[in-house]
Amino acid sequence: MSCLFPDPPTEATLADARRVLNDTQTSVLEITSKIDAAEAALAEIVKESKYVISEMQKERARLEEQAFQTRAYLSPIRRLPTKLLRDIFMWSFEEYSCCAWVLAGVCVPWRRLALKMPKIWSKIRLLTTQHASADTIRLWLERSGDSVPLDIEIFLRVTGSESLSRRRRHSLSLSPPPSPPPWPVFSHHQGITSHYVIPHPPGTGIAILPPPHTPIVLPPSPGGHDTWIASPHPSTERVMPSSSRSSLHWGHIATYYLVEQMHRWERFIFRFDKQFTSMSALKSINGDAPLLKEFEVSSAEAAFYPEWQWLPNASATASLVLPKLDTLTLQYTPFKWSSPMLRTNLRTLNLRALPTSHLPLDRILYIIANNPALESLTLHFQGVLSAILPLVPTTLQSVKTFNIGGHYILSQLVDSLILPSLDNLTLDIDARDPIEEIISNLLSRSNNPHLIHLSVAYGSSSSSTFYYGPSGIVISWTTLLTELTHLKSLHIGGTPLEPLLTALGPPDDETNQMSTWACPKLESLGMRNCHAHSEGVAKLVQMVEGRNPDSAPGNVAQAVGGVSPVKLKALELYDCASLGQDVVQWLKGRVDEVVCTEPAYDR
């Protein structure tokens, strides 16, 4: 200010200053007005430019869409004859049973063609809940026409927490993940194909989910939201409501649609993890099925069921038309021992009876004897009564796989069977007699078939009574295993660890009196709940070292009597002993696949 006006101020200089201030403020207002006008003009120019750019972008998008449609029109696949495109659809169907949903969602011409091909809709692979619409089944059946044989697999999840870990891939690829489980699932919902991963089912002993690499479809929920989408984090998982109107009637609606097409069933598999509200609808499964080859209804939960009047409960005098049925599986569902369905010359029979079912032993044998062509036989009965009629020795020439578990009286059933072709044996019964005698006598009666797989008490039971006779003496593993010269896989549960490992160890061991290797072809060994004493871990190391010596050149397993054991490839120990990290690392250096879990009391 001192440069504009003299100091100190006078009346004259103050008047000049007031005049200058008024002029300056007037100039500021004029310049501000000009700036506002310039900015307004610029904004108008920007607005006009943006509008022009927007119009050009729209035109570009239109031209790009036109180019895309033109390229699509020029695409070689457009020139494919319909017959060849049908062949491609059929090849896809042979590889992926649910491809029809994806093919029908590609474009209008493909959808029209897919809907004209009932064959590619003939395999139903559905993972669902009671809260999903049963119309998915109706739609699938309608698209399969009225004459094509049906291959049906439906898996109903009833548990309260029905969340799935989800991996969304924005792709139409139908390739399953490289690892075996978890199982791949494809959801077709509002034109989007999503890839999900189903977690392993809880340890129930019964699988209620699809086999590995089985592509299946998840239905959309009635409200338009995918009920199976969930966060991978437990804290944010959504739990389905425990009841709803749809869940009350799902079974009745779905079963109605399915039974209506029963004359076309070729395979029918229905599995559920526990009882559900409309479960009684299964009693509607009745009538003739002239094409049916495989039938299965399985529950993972043992519960009380009434005796439904359905196919497995048919009267002994009923006339059922099931000429092609060769595979039957009933797990925790009601059946009658005299039903014609159980005497149709089956090749595969799998029965897991309800806990409330108590059949006399001779009637179980009656079921077996009426199917002389059996190749695979699986029986599990928790309640069994003594035989009413004498048990007759029964020969099953073709049985290769025999699995039996449950009540101790079933050991008498084993003593009545002759299985000359047996190569896979699973025993999970509460035997009162030494188990090695039951196995040895069975093999001896059967002319010593080449047993490849043996499993004893390796299932859900953890009882050690499988290995104790009336006197409480542990069975002689040495005697039994020496006879199994062709055995490749051995799974044992509930036995003391040391005697088993001693029998499988080197024959020249001081505590091993064998003159040759036991099970020289053994490649896989699994042990569950086999309690170990002080020398258990040492015996394990000695056994592995004897069968899998150091990989240095020239190191091979010791030959005894001209026989050397093959290399052990897989070793599993569940709740057996605390090995220590050093021992586990050593085992992994000798055996290709090693799985160990510590006993609960050590955790």
pLDDT tens by residue, 13-22: 888 888 888 9
Q: What is the pLDDT of residue 515?
A: 73
In this predicted model, what pLDDT tens digit does every residue of 556-596 receive, in sequence order? Answer: 667 776 788 889 999 999 988 888 889 999 999 999 999 99
Residue 70: pLDDT over 80: yes
Residue scoring higher pLDDT (533 or 238) = 533
- What percent of the chain is predicted at pLDDT more than 70? 79
Mean pLDDT of the chain: 80
* pTM listed for this prediction: 0.76
Cβ-contact 319, 312 below 8 angstroms = no
- β pairing state of 165-166 and 192-198: antiparallel
Asked which of 359-373, 386-400, 448-462 is least confident by mean pLDDT, the reply is 448-462
Burial per residue of 352-368, b for 16 or more beta-carbon CB atoms within 10 angstroms, e otherwise = bbbeebebbbbbbbbbb
Distance CA 431, CA 252 (A): 42
Distance CA 374, CA 368 (A): 8
Residue 187: pLDDT over 70: no
In this predicted model, what pLDDT tens digit does every residue of 460-478 receive, in sequence order? Answer: 544 444 444 333 334 678 8
Residue 423: pLDDT over 80: yes
Band the pLDDT of 112: cuts 50, 70, 90.
very high
DSSP letters for 129-175: -TTS-THHHHHHHHHTTTTS-EEEEEEE--SS---BEE----S---P
Residue scoring higher pLDDT (424 or 232) = 424
Average pLDDT estimate for 474-488? 82
User: Cα(first)–Cα(last) distance of the chain, in Å?
Assistant: 87
Cβ-contact 525, 477 below 8 angstroms = no
Q: What is the pLDDT of residue 239?
A: 37
Asked which of 31-45, 333-347, 429-443 is least confident by mean pLDDT, the reply is 429-443
Q: What is the pLDDT of residue 246?
A: 62
In this predicted model, what pLDDT tens digit does every residue of 496-510 receive, in sequence order? Answer: 888 888 888 888 655
Q: What is the pLDDT of residue 74?
A: 86
Residue scoring higher pLDDT (553 or 359) = 359
CA torsion sign for 536, 539, 543, 548 is: positive
Distance CA 143, CA 572 (A): 47
Residue 532: pLDDT over 60: yes
Q: Which are the contacts of 174, defined by CB distance < 8 A and separation ≥ 6?
A: 92, 95, 96, 98, 99, 102, 186, 215
